[in-house]
Amino acid sequence: MPIISAPQEFNAEDLYVDLNAVIGSPLHLKCEGFNFTGSVKLKAAVEMVEAAERDGLLGPDSVLVESSSGNLGVALSVIAASKGYRFVCVTDSRCNLASKRLMEALGATVYTVTEPAADGGFLGARLAHVRRLCEEDKRYVWLNQYANPGNWRAHYRWTARAVDRSFPALDVLFVGAGTTGTLMGCARWFKEHRPTVRIVAVDSVGSVTFGHPPAPRMIPGLGTGVRPQLLDESFVDDVLLVPETDTVRMCHRLAARGFLFGGSTGTVVSGATAWLAEHGTPETTAVAIAPDLGERYLDTVYHATWVQGVYGADALATASLT
Ligand code: PMP
């Protein structure tokens, strides 16, 4: 199999990188960054907006509002613009500039929360702002990706089926957990249709999603400071927690081989590689979901000054050796 493969007739849903050929990890990486919104969140955005339309929640004056650390905001900007709705994205100071600029270029209004909530996290502060907007003006419609079943249904409908189509003999699927929409949609589909497939969630150290203590995190997309309402842990076989320094090292290791992925992909690949080294066999067929690409992180994950400022002078030391 070539390093980069689209096993079906070319379709962005079927694009994989074979990491065995890249970093010697027996893992197929499903690349979700090749669509108009540049991330896995396109599917959740379409499903949530169309469900709101079906439920009669949206009229010509409606203003969509959502709290997003970037990718859902960009995806909703695209969907809102294409359907003629206004969109307000509430984000925080960790959101990268490129995502904010993209949203604004697509006609969205971006509000950036700069003060964390009392628990030290930004999510609570973002949600408080969204709630305030909805109370003050009834035209606002909050999709609430943390609780909206359309978020996981999108991945049940599309992502899981696409993985199964390309890898009918799959043994293990690694999925990063943010809102847990991707995780829950894939986990529900596989438990129903291919119950022998192990579902492994990958999260960042410092995220409270799986009951661990909170700590500061700088990589957007993965992890939360508030446990997502979508999560049902009974569908998950294993949970891996990856420190952000490993995330950054893995991103740089992949970039050194020509593959520039987003930060959360570094987390998922780092966790999956360690899991496979311990539990995998030469026959194991493993897939991991890569939520986006690296262009949006040139000022953070791929900027040496930022990395050293956040994680210390040695953070990249081993990356250049691997
Ligand atoms: N990685 C990135 C870059 C993301 O934008 C997201 C979405 N928050 C995720 C991972 C996690 O996806 P989900 O919200 O479906 O858990």
Summarised one tens digit per residue, pLDDT across range 130-169 is 999 999 999 999 999 999 999 999 999 999 999 999 999 9
CATH number of 7-34+149-311: 3.40.50.1100
How do the domains of the chain map onto residue ranges? 7-34+149-311, 41-142
Q: Helical H runs in the chain?
A: 19-23, 41-54, 71-83, 97-105, 123-136, 149-154, 160-166, 181-193, 244-256, 263-279, 304-311
Q: Percent of the chain scored above 70 by pLDDT?
A: 96
Answer for the pair 76, 130: CB distance below 8 angstroms, yes or no. no
Q: Which two tokens stand for residue 49?
A: 């907006």
- The answer to whether 6 and 155 have CB atoms below 8 angstroms apart is no
Q: For residue 265, which atom of ligand 1 is closest to its CA?
A: 1
**pLDDT for res 8:** 56
Best mutation site among 29, 30, 35, 41 for ligand 1, i.e. most ligand atoms within 8 A of its Cβ?
41
Cβ atoms of 224 and 182 within 8 Å: the answer is no
Residue identifier of the C-alpha nearest atom 11 of ligand 1: 178
CB 158 within 8 A of CB 13: yes
The structure's pTM equals: 0.95
Question: pLDDT band at 320, cuts 50/70/90?
Answer: very low
Least confident of 8-22, 48-62, 177-191, 263-277: 8-22
Distance (angstroms) between ligand 1 centre and the Cα of 176 equals 7
How much of the chain exceeds pLDDT 90, in percent?
83
The ligand 1 atom nearest the CA atom of 71: 5
Predicted confidence at residue 318, as pLDDT, reads: 60
In testing the pocket of ligand 1, which one of 30, 40, 47, 68 has its CB within 8 Å of the most ligand atoms?
A: 40
Reduced to 3 states (helix: H, G, I; strand: E, B; else coil), residue 6 is coil
Torsion sign (Cα): 289, 268, 21, 36: positive
Location of structure tokens 């970093």: 23
**What's the pLDDT tens digit per position in 68-127?**
989 999 999 999 999 999 999 999 887 888 999 999 999 999 999 988 877 777 888 999
Question: Does CATH number 1.10.10.60 belong to domain 41-142?
Answer: no
Ligand 1, CB cutoff 6 Å, lining residues = 39, 41, 71, 176-183, 221-222, 262, 264, 291-292
Cα dihedral across residues 252, 293, 145, 164: positive or negative: negative
Which residue's CA is the closest to the ligand 1 atom numbered 7?
A: 221
Ligand 1 atom index nearest CA of 41: 7
Residue of 288, 289, 307 lying closest to 297 (CA atoms): 307
ipTM above 0.90, yes or no: yes
Average pLDDT over residues 288-296: 97
Give Cα separations from 303 to 166, 196, 299 (angstroms). 35, 41, 5
pLDDT for position 6:
58
Looking at the predicted structure, is the pLDDT value of residue 319 above 70? no
Asked if domains 7-34+149-311 and 41-142 share a fold, the reply is yes
Position 109 scores a pLDDT of 97
- Predicted local distance difference test score (pLDDT) of residue 305: 95
CA distances from 289 to 34, 225, 279, 286, 304 (A): 13, 22, 19, 10, 26
Alpha-carbon gap, residue 225 to 203, rounded angstroms: 12
pLDDT value of residue 121: 74
Return the structure tokens found at 233. Answer: 């842990």
pLDDT category at 316 given cuts 50, 70, 90 is confident
Q: What pLDDT does residue 321 have?
A: 41
Residues paired with residue 202 on neighbouring β-strands, in sequence order: 176, 240
